[in-house]
Amino acid sequence: MNRVYNFSAGPSQLPESVLRRASEEMLDYHGSGQSVMEMSHRSKTFQEIIDGAEALLREVMGIPENYKVLFLQGGASSQFAMIPYNLLNGSGKADYVLTGQWATKAYKEAARYGDARAIASSKDKTFSYIPKLDPKTFTPDADYFYICMNNTIYGTKYHTLPETGKVPLIADISSCICSEPLDVTKFGLLFAGAQKNLAPAGLTIVIVREDLLGHARPDTPTMFNYVTHAENGSMFNTPPCWCIYICKLVLEWIRDEIGGLKEMQKRNVAKAQLLYDFLDQSKLFRGTVVPEDRSLMNVPFVTDDDALNKKFVAEAEADGMVNLKGHRTVGGMRASIYNAMPYAGVEKLVAFMERFEKENG
């Protein structure tokens, strides 16, 4: 067996111990005589799995009692509509900060349902920074204020949160969930597609403050109403059982093997630092993001020669490091170094970059 280091932006690498455990439990989960993929979601065995996953997420992230945790489908992209359906129903106004494609998609979707306002953008420089926000430009009676916390494509991240006062702050944390501690009480709603840091594709996690529930637009489809899922323990219909099970194993890995989110953060900082330090002294490669807004999870970098970028991606793949091609809007390369990427994977990448620079610089 020869496993590669997968630098994909998502779906992405999962911890090897989780994959081993899942394979051990594949044919006969805890004496049930079946796999989690096959069992009834109404069974006692599965109920324990989903309850365990929720309890672990609450413990690992420190989610207070007055927040609901929902396990949904439809990807993070469905939340772009679900959020306005459920929340854009007071003043009908909402503020959006455009820091990349995901934030822009969310903004455009919300504009179909109400007065969505793009109050700041970093599009002028290919989203290579987080705009400085001035609370005087915020809409005081907005139903919510929306940010994309970590911008997967462009490699930027909010290091300080906007001060939105009474207006609930909503964040897309798809590509940074559980990468470091996060004060959940600062937010009205958090959501994440799980396929970057927590599980296979197919599971979307929503963490929502209870007082924000119950205000959905009257035309909200039943499946798009948070209340439907909150009242039914995420089992109004068949949940993504297998993904929830893997999510539980990943959360156990974070808690028991890593030691929680503070430790996770230390590891992620060490990995990112290794790569950024190399980029900052390199004469061939450079990072594309302003240093103060750099992401811990997604690191875009380029050489100034397209042919060389192509060569790099191809030679890295031949050496067991896959999915390093950058997003087409940035070009060059992007290394996504999510929780499950070991330090050794980044060391191997940096050693390869050093060699590549000597041979091609």
Ligand X SMILES: *Cc1c(COP(=O)(O)O)cnc(C)c1O
Write the DSSP symbol of residue 187. Answer: -
102 is catalytic: yes
For residues 91 and 102, give the distance between their C-alpha atoms in angstroms, rounded to a whole number: 24
In a 3-state reduction of DSSP, which class is residue 226?
A: helix
CA 6 vs CA 14, 99, 221: distances in Å: 9, 25, 38
Closest CA to 316 of 330, 338, 332: 332
Helices (H) and strands (E) in the chain, counts: 9, 14
Pairing of strands 5-6, 321-322: parallel
Which is the catalytic residue, given 95, 102, 157, 293? Answer: 102
CA 296 vs CA 203, 256, 299, 328: distances in Å: 23, 22, 7, 21
CA 332 vs CA 120, 297, 306, 348: distances in Å: 27, 17, 7, 19
CA 183 vs CA 238, 254, 259, 261, 352: distances in Å: 31, 17, 18, 12, 37
Q: Which amino acid is at 33?
A: G
For residues 82 and 89, give the distance between their C-alpha atoms in angstroms, rounded to a whole number: 12
Which is the catalytic residue, given 95, 143, 172, 293? Answer: 172
Q: Which residues bind ligand X (CB under 6 A)?
A: 10, 75-77, 102, 148, 152, 172, 174-175, 193, 196
Residue closer to ligand X (CB basis): 175 or 288: 175
Residue closer to ligand X (CB basis): 174 or 282: 174
End-to-end C-alpha distance for the chain, whole angstroms: 34
196 is catalytic: yes
Residue closer to ligand X (CB basis): 72 or 284: 72
Q: Nearest approach, Cβ of 190 to ligand X (angstroms)?
A: 12
Residue closer to ligand X (CB basis): 69 or 81: 81
Q: Nearest approach, Cβ of 303 to ligand X (angstroms)?
A: 25
Residue closer to ligand X (CB basis): 201 or 235: 201
Q: Which residues are CB-contacts of 84 (< 8 A; sequence separation ≥ 6)?
A: 94, 109, 110, 112, 113, 114, 116
For residues 26 and 176, give the distance between their C-alpha atoms in angstroms, rounded to a whole number: 29
134 is catalytic: no
Q: Nearest approach, Cβ of 254 to ligand X (angstroms)?
A: 19
Confirm if 202 and 361 have CB atoms less than 8 A apart. no
**DSSP H or E run through 60:** helix 44-61
Which is the catalytic residue, given 196, 248, 271, 325? Answer: 196
Q: Nearest approach, Cβ of 176 to ligand X (angstroms)?
A: 8
Q: Nearest approach, Cβ of 80 to ligand X (angstroms)?
A: 8
Residue closer to ligand X (CB basis): 190 or 241: 190
Q: Nearest approach, Cβ of 361 to ligand X (angstroms)?
A: 32
Residue closer to ligand X (CB basis): 152 or 309: 152
In a 3-state reduction of DSSP, which class is residue 307?
A: helix
Q: Nearest approach, Cβ of 77 to ligand X (angstroms)?
A: 3
Q: Which residues are part of the catalytic machinery?
A: 102, 172, 196
